[in-house]
Amino acid sequence: MKAVEFKTGIKTQHILIPSEMQAQIKTNKDVRVIVLIDEPDAYDDLTFQQTAQEQFLNGYSDSDTVYDNN
What per-residue confidence (pLDDT) applies to 35? 87
pTM (2 decimals)?
Answer: 0.43
Residue 21 near residue 4, CB atoms below 8 Å: yes
**Which segments of 1-70 does DSSP mark as H helices, in order?**
19-22, 41-58
**CA terminus-to-terminus distance, the chain:** 51
pLDDT tens per residue, range 8-67: 888 899 988 888 888 888 777 788 888 888 776 656 777 888 888 888 877 777 777 777
Q: Across the strands, what pairs with 10?
A: 15
Residue 16 near residue 9, CB atoms below 8 Å: yes
